[in-house]
Amino acid sequence: MSRQMYIGKRVLIIAPHPDDETIGVGGTIVKYSAQDSEVFVLTVSGHLPPLYSREDYDKTVSEARSAFELLGVTQSEFLEMPATMIDDKPRHELNGEIERIVNDFGPHIVFCPYPDRHVDHRLVFDSAMVATRPIGVGRNIEIVATYETLSETHWNAPHIEPNFTPNWVVDISDHIEKKLNALRCYKSQLIDFPGPRSIEALEALAKFRGTQAGFGYGEGFHIVRMVS
């Protein structure tokens, strides 16, 4: 895809939890923000009671804001739904919350989670598909694409569930260090290698996706809809 597609765009990343945006789209966020594009991150849920304490949630939000600053995110919103309990919210309300952001921000590009092993990812994907339909503001969306999230996407059961197969790879060779440094902001979420949410694992995935497309480092996406 041409360099022109990265200049002056409004890019929306829909993240089920804090850190998903950095793991899945961090290098691409930097690439867009470096070329005068506006990047909005919508974080749907997080580490809230009853499974976690409010202090846990506040810490991850603080970590997210530090990561956003490094990546060049220009706008963000946190919906504050308890993690793994998104399904407790009536589906039309979740659809409406995401649709509100789509309508207000008017994105050209939307990245949403691949419907993988995590129930929150599947629910957010479903609502993103509703909110980005090609009607109204959605008619101006040029690309809707899903991203992969280490520790969830690569744990789908082969052939029983859909497996993530990228059909778009973004070259992030010039931005890999910022992506990794942004992930380092999430100290409460990182685990030691060979854990999937480790710096080493994220760098290895970026190398693998990059070499699939002839780059040093890449981020893979599966395009749901693209118009031009």
User: pLDDT for 94-151, tens place per residue?
Assistant: 999 999 999 999 999 999 999 988 899 999 999 999 999 999 999 999 999 999 998 8
| pTM (predicted TM-score) | 0.95
* Average pLDDT over every residue of 72-88: 94
206-217 as b/e, with b when 16 or more CB fall inside 10 Å? bbebbeeeebeb
Q: What is the pLDDT of residue 1?
A: 59
Q: Name the least confident of 9-18, 82-91, 208-217.
A: 82-91
* Average pLDDT over every residue of 44-63: 91
Which of 107, 116, 100, 111 minimizes the C-alpha distance to 151? 116
Q: What is the pLDDT of residue 3?
A: 61
Q: Name the least confident of 24-38, 51-65, 201-215.
A: 51-65
